[in-house]
Structure 1
């Protein structure tokens, strides 16, 4: 195909087996699209393509992604606002005929089974490392481990007592992202093997496996790419778990002496500050030492 279709905030470049979407930078372009930069979407990741009238003399070309094909859309779970949809291209109405031509070409190239959920992610996740500041702490992801470092002012006592957290992706089954543009937004990590009776979990502000959002904290353009990157890594780890590689990663992190020492040091600070009783400090210290 090799053609280019330029719209407001984005340009689509058509190849034989994919569409390269480049998002513009500028104050009118949603921050999420700017953060994504560009994305190559294989035609195998597309269910269909639609063209519909837009507002104020525009038309909207939209690729509908297959379920399970894009970690970003899976993490978003339908919570994105229309103008932040990375599969949406708004064009002047006079380009409607050209847009329909490209839409028809894509439809003709879609293979059988595109209506079925994808067995694995086909669109690349946002590249790392990823990090953002939540209301109650800082979240970071280096590609293999998610870390939460609690804020002294925003975190609850439950999180302070639990201490800063590190989660290897091999120990996770996925993520739950609730948009910061919705009341009580948060990002929660889901364990691969939850303890019996803990499936529901505590509220996000008391859950050491979650960070909560707030005004100016965990914005969509930072927290959603983060969630998508973690989700893609957990799926990749699950696919490798049969080789024993994932289990080895969990064991390595749990027995890392430096990590254990840092967590004991943190417990000592909480103890000195009066946030932990003598009994709580002793019990948690024994639990950490038992992991060595």
Structure 2
């Protein structure tokens, strides 16, 4: 690489080049994609890259330097599965056209340090996922991840009867084999977990191992880092299979966390104020939640 410590500044992010990796620092400006705010910065080893290209920047007077990670090198990219919009691509640096020659120089330098296996899938993750704990509100429940267990707590007003009857769900990462993320910006967006040996129902809305997205529920900048964090933990965990894993275990009954109950009551209050719940429905459900304490 050119010189350790070299910096190439672009729109929304800056690339700082070291001897064996590039540190991508994302801005926190008003116009910066919220996903970049969440990512903060990411260190990408050169061995994690499969290629580099220079393309038009999508705006008049701009070019884009884009690095392509090797398949399997980055859990965020693996979880996104090609669904990220161009503006949310963390491997794309947009640069004013007057600096195109400099961008081309760094593109050439990056290509020169790609490893011999750059065209092959990576055997392990080389770029870290956003760290746990992670949480976000989906349309039908709240998803939480503490680094070892994924929890889905259902919203009475959003969850299907199948999920409500199954009860709140708890998934140790060692019992999972896959994480499926479908962008909330497309129809049927959802986050679905695949427990080992369990065949999931056809629709995410009916699957207690999934949460579904809706307008304002599970946005990309919250749900994608969550999915990547879980996926990284699943790959690192020792597989654990329950006896008779093909049969879903009965819901675990335990007292609810007071903070979670308070949040669910606030959610009910919002629906009540919006006219989506009657006074009687709100009062009855609030009493049910308080009884969980």
TM-score range, shorter chain: 0.7 to 0.9
SS of the aligned residue for 2:35 comes to helix
Alpha-carbon shift at residue 260 of structure 1 (Å) = 4.1
CA distance in 2, matches of 1:224, 1:214: 14
SS of the aligned residue for 2:180 comes to strand
Give 1 or 2: higher helix fraction. 1
Please tell me whether the aligned partners of residues 49 and 103 of structure 1 are also in contact (alpha carbons under 8 angstroms).
yes
Instruction: Give the alignment of 1:176-195 within 5 angstroms.
Output: 176-194=180-198
CA distance in 1, matches of 2:254, 2:217: 30
SS of the aligned residue for 2:68 comes to strand
CA distance in 1, matches of 2:100, 2:254: 63
Q: CA RMSD in A?
A: 1.9
CA distance in 2, matches of 1:127, 1:4: 26
CA distance in 1, matches of 2:254, 2:26: 45
Normalised to the residue count of structure 2, the TM-score between the two structures is 0.81
Alpha-carbon shift at residue 110 of structure 1 (Å) = 1.1
What is the match of residue 52 of structure 1?
55
What is the match of residue 220 of structure 1?
220
Alpha-carbon shift at residue 192 of structure 1 (Å) = 2.0
Alpha-carbon shift at residue 137 of structure 1 (Å) = 0.4
What is the match of residue 262 of structure 2?
none
Alpha-carbon shift at residue 191 of structure 1 (Å) = 1.4
Alpha-carbon shift at residue 193 of structure 1 (Å) = 2.0
Alpha-carbon shift at residue 9 of structure 1 (Å) = 0.3
Please tell me whether the aligned partners of residues 174 and 230 of structure 1 are also in contact (alpha carbons under 8 angstroms).
no
Alpha-carbon shift at residue 101 of structure 1 (Å) = 1.2
- Summarize deviations over 1:202-228 as a string: whole Å, max 9, x none: 311111000000000000000000000
CA distance in 1, matches of 2:141, 2:12: 32
SS of the aligned residue for 2:222 comes to helix
Whether 2:98 is the aligned partner of 1:94: answer yes
Instruction: Give the alignment of 1:5-44 within 5 angstroms.
Output: 5-44=8-47
CA distance in 2, matches of 1:23, 1:172: 32
Please tell me whether the aligned partners of residues 154 and 164 of structure 2 are also in contact (alpha carbons under 8 angstroms).
yes
CA distance in 2, matches of 1:79, 1:143: 25
Alignment size in residue pairs: 247
Please tell me whether the aligned partners of residues 171 and 193 of structure 1 are also in contact (alpha carbons under 8 angstroms).
no
CA distance in 1, matches of 2:179, 2:60: 38
